[in-house]
Structure 1
Amino acid sequence: MYVKVGIDAGDFTYETQLPVKPGCMVVVPFKRTTKIGWVIDISREPNLPEAIKLRKVRQLISRKQVIENNLIQLAKWVANYYVAEVGHVIEHMLPQSIRRKSITRLLPRAKEFEIKNVRPQVDVLWEVDPTVRWDYYKHAIERTLSEGKDVLVLVPEQRDHRMLQDVPFYTSELRDSDKKRLWLALRRGDLRVVCGTRSAVFLPFRGLGLIIVEREDSKHYKEQDHPHYHARDVAIMRAMFEGIRVILGTGSPSLETYLNIKKGKYKLVNEPKFDELKIDVITLRKRQIFSPELKRKISNILQRGGKVVLFINLRGYSRYLICEDCGHTLRCPRCGVGLVYYRAGKMLRCHYCGYKEVAPTVCPNCQGTNIRYVSLGVERVLRRARASGLRQYFGMWSLIRLTLSL
């Protein structure tokens, strides 16, 4: 018998006579050492050239299936789509204590899932008011539970759990003992509803019927470490393999979700309501930041007790410095991109790698002193807004700078 085993270096074929099943944990030789891995496929033929001599599985750690076939299928997809090792993906799915030999005797009997591989029902709730979204979720949860199915609610951040305080919460920041307790309870079928952040998408539900992804547009669903999966997309693929429904809730859908709505792949369950927007395009004179029309409108809004947001898509004071004598621009020696000038500290910084240096007063290329600040940054706009000449428009209202680095 031949088995394909997923380890942290990839997936490899081994020969064995041990009573293994998909999802069992084994020890296999790899180069001059041994590694722990998971059986992901079994076959009677190796489907390899006859000249290749296969090594044998050294040890069967657990006769019980540590990971069930539905999650093996999901791990394979994640590994293929995000260019990762399937063994590493499975390690990411399991609490650390579950991967120990001593805990395997506590594992409940594995369930054999039917891999349906059908287009899932993906419903999009496009609603700005989070209270309305959560009311919709709660009705969907009650309906799913009444049908005898389980529910997973994914949230981007831990603070979002407050809307389901009485529901167990799973996050990577939990102690491993708490992760193990919740994981085993799900494997036994003791829990019906769980709320969690992105890693909860891999939890071993016995009969999942609904996945809710709150604020599906949030950047927090993207895993920054290896494997670099996106929990929203993994949830949709899990729904495809298990033939269940997904609800994507958002106040402002991601471009991917919006495109899938337009293509008819996702269904919009409500009619989003928006206030009519009025956009004015104004041509500014040279070196002008605030047009007279913008000043008047800001003043009118503030007088009525309103608030104003000035969106500037650049941190710092200026996008880059240029020598007007020779045209030389200062660039990051690592990345090759223009260095952003920060007036505070008179520093040049690279927003990609973090490189920084003191801004020069003379051009390092031609020794000229005619250096110009190009483009507008938040610091420059805020400095101009606070200038005494604009007090007549802004009065004594406070001005706040908000950037990602603050």
Structure 2
Amino acid sequence: MAARGPHDLSNNEILHMVRDIIGQIENNEELLNIRGILRVAGSHDAAQTILETGKVPPITSENIHTIVDVLKRSLSLMTTRIPSIDTTGLATLQAIAANVSDQETSKIALANAFQDFVDNLARSNDIDKESLGEILHNYMHLGKVISQYEATNKMTTNNCAIVIGPRMNEVLNLVPIPAAGDPALVMSAAAKASLVNDAIRIGIESGNYDVHFDQKYAEVKFNSRQRMITAVESQTEKTGASLEKLMTLLEKITGEIKQTERSLDTLKNQKDQLKGRGGLLHKKTPEEKKFLAQTRAALLREQEHYKSLSERLDALHRDIEDFEKSRIKFDHTRSELTASMRRLEHYLPSSPSTTDSDTTVSDDEFAMIENTERAFMPSVGVTTTTTAIVPDPDKERELSSEDRSPPRTPRSSQ
């Protein structure tokens, strides 16, 4: 078996790695105070090993730079997933990025477009799009948290953007930079990429990324998962009813097979008796020959019937096995959704209401539940307003001690 590589990681595995890394860093002041936390390179081989296993070790001052490399490369891994995710709205963001200028209003427009894109991903009713939105949002959120310790880690919002911007540009292909060719085109693309970094800085300085993804979109995710649990329970009930019908049919076919086996034994004995009576066939009477031919024909029919029943029985066993697997999968999905809701409840001021949402889920939607990582996301009809970005005219200002205090947000659940 070939060795597992980073590209073998599922979207869900990448998401959980990012959650783990950001959760450990943002809740550890010792790590947040490390100088150049985002900029210093770590061990490539050690990062590769982590990416191959998908398991993040406890983060310490000794391995922090390697873990940050894992975070950056995890985001880069999403590059290959974008086409399959088919994110609507990406073209609009790319168009705004392609036309960004050094005017502050232009960079603000790009920062707002990026936030709108993330917001659309969060509300896309698609688990892969939501995962991508969470990764993009939380990467920006980490930059926000780290920049609050700039007095010790020297990571201003501008420095964070210099690190984060190129990754965002790479993943979303905002400003393609040619590897070679016309130097003027390369320089022009590089200049555009620098403006993208400025837009990322403006985004980090805005209030859009003060809290991590789960907290910001808690109600949206909670309601969608509530609908999913209702849907899964309904499908589990349907699966149970189908299993009962299959078991009844199994019992019926098993009975028919036993009856056919008895008929075959009777016909075989009858044929043997007819063949043995009176010696050779040409010595038998016309009546005996006719009866023997009828017996042989009946025997062939029963053999064909037996074969057909056996094939139906095999298919039925496969169907029952598939339904049993589906029932187990639905039970596991429900457990995963319940755990997710418990995590999200922590961020809700009160129990969310789904009275304005249509809780009906069609059978076609159930077909989208291929596994617990790729469960469908029904629409919940919840909307919020994106925070408008107002840039600080003095982007390199000294932060107050209050600004530097870390956000008191719970660590993301693994």
The reply to whether TM is greater than 0.5 is no
For normalisation by structure 2, the TM-score amounts to: 0.19
**Larger relative contact order, structure 1 or 2 (CA cutoff 8 Å, min sep 6):** 2
| Structure having the larger proportion of residues in strand | 1
- The structure that is helix-richer by fraction is 2
Larger Rg: 2
